[in-house]
Amino acid sequence: VKTWIEAQGSDSSAAPSREEIIQAIDARAREARRRSLALVAMSGKGHVGGDLSAAEILATLYTAVLRFDPNNPSAPARDRFVMSKGHSSAMLYATLDQGGFFETGLLETFMQPGSPLNGHPARGRAPGVEASTGPLGHGLPIAAGMAAAARLDRSKRRVYCLVGEGELQEGSNWEALMFASHNRLDNLTVIVDRNGLQQGASTEETNALEPLAAKAQAFGCDVSEVDGHDAEALFDLFCGLPGRTDRPAFVIANTHKGRGVSFMEDRVEWHHRVPTDPELAMALAELEETA
């Protein structure tokens, strides 16, 4: 198992520089934004706001952090990534396609009748999907169990779990954090896509998470905050983990819902609004310009 960027190099070529890695992450995040938006527009359903806020987090993990083998998605030594915010499936699928998990054409079947690419990811159906999610609060307990299994196996594999911030209102997450810190699962990294909004309103207005860092710390986590759209900062942070051995890492990634498309950014209605054809064209053009 290797990271994507490691797998690109041949034996003769030099390892990519840090700068090249960051460039690759940004380019892949941009491409995944375009493709996920197109998927949602095509299928007429989806959650673009949370797709776009997670772009750099997923691109960083699947470019330069997670070790996997797309030809053997269940390789025992692989690192695990659990997408707990399963409604951001279009972004996950676009990322898995970049990672080489999907056969040509599979991505375009997104939400089509009978497709393995459900509106919410399903383990055992879509290649590379580690957990069935969508109902919120499921991913983190599963990820904690995966981390406990790695510990029991004396394996160095790591487990990453991306949770939505509104999702943290589900109590099961806090049950899982208690379990992870009690068992000193420092091979577990929880990433919060802190984009400020949930389905109906801002998270702080709905049922406030703040002080989130203090809460996670009180639950026994090694807490850090990062700009969730800064590929360099994300890469450095993930490379430095575990920061404090014996504690699960809890990364608050500050992001913007709808990031990258001006008329979607930080707007609650874009939680699950579907872009019209003209809106999609405008969005893709904007994403082209920023390239």
Partner 1 sequence: MSEQLLHDCRIGFAESLTALAEHDERIVVVVNDSLGSSNLVGFSQRFPERVFNVGIAEANMVGVAAGLADSGRIPFVCGASCFLTARALEQIKVDIAYSNANVKLCGMSPGLAYGELGATHHSIEDVAWLRAISGVPIVVPADPIETRQAIEVAASHDGPIFVRVSRSPVPAVYDDDYRFELGKTVMLREGSDVTLISNGIVLHRALDAADRLSARDGIEARVLAMPTVKPIDWEAIEAAANETAAIVTIEEHTVKGGVGSAVAECVVSCSPVPMKLIGIPDVFAPTGSTEWLLEHYGLTASAICETVRTFVRARQVV
- Residues of this chain that interact with partner 1 (CB under 8 A) are 76, 80, 122-124, 130-135, 137-138, 140-150, 152-153, 155, 171-172, 175-176, 178-179, 183
| Ramachandran class of 134: left when φ > 0, alpha when ψ lies in -120 to 50, beta otherwise | left
Measured from the CB atom, the residue of 112 and 155 that comes closer to partner 1 is: 155
Question: Edge-to-edge strands of the sheet including 188-194?
Answer: 80-83, 159-164, 188-194, 249-254, 222-227
Q: How far is the CB of 24 from partner 1 (least distance, A)?
A: 29
Q: How far is the CB of 144 from partner 1 (least distance, A)?
A: 6
Burial class (CB in 10 A: 0-12, 13-18, 19+), 27: middle
Question: Rounded to whole angstroms, how far apart are CA atoms 242 and 226?
Answer: 15
Measured from the CB atom, the residue of 31 and 167 that comes closer to partner 1 is: 167
Burial class (CB in 10 A: 0-12, 13-18, 19+), 278: exposed
CA contacts within 13 A on the Cβ side of 200: 3
Q: How far is the CB of 252 from partner 1 (least distance, A)?
A: 21
Q: How far is the CB of 254 from partner 1 (least distance, A)?
A: 27
Measured from the CB atom, the residue of 26 and 186 that comes closer to partner 1 is: 186
Measured from the CB atom, the residue of 141 and 220 that comes closer to partner 1 is: 141
Helix (H) or strand (E) holding 81: strand 80-83
Q: Is 199 helix (H, G, I), strand (E, B) or coil?
A: coil
Measured from the CB atom, the residue of 153 and 205 that comes closer to partner 1 is: 153
Measured from the CB atom, the residue of 130 and 193 that comes closer to partner 1 is: 130
Q: How far is the CB of 287 from partner 1 (least distance, A)?
A: 33
Crossing angle of the two packed helices 89-98 and 18-43, in degrees rounded to 10: 130
Q: How far is the CB of 263 from partner 1 (least distance, A)?
A: 35
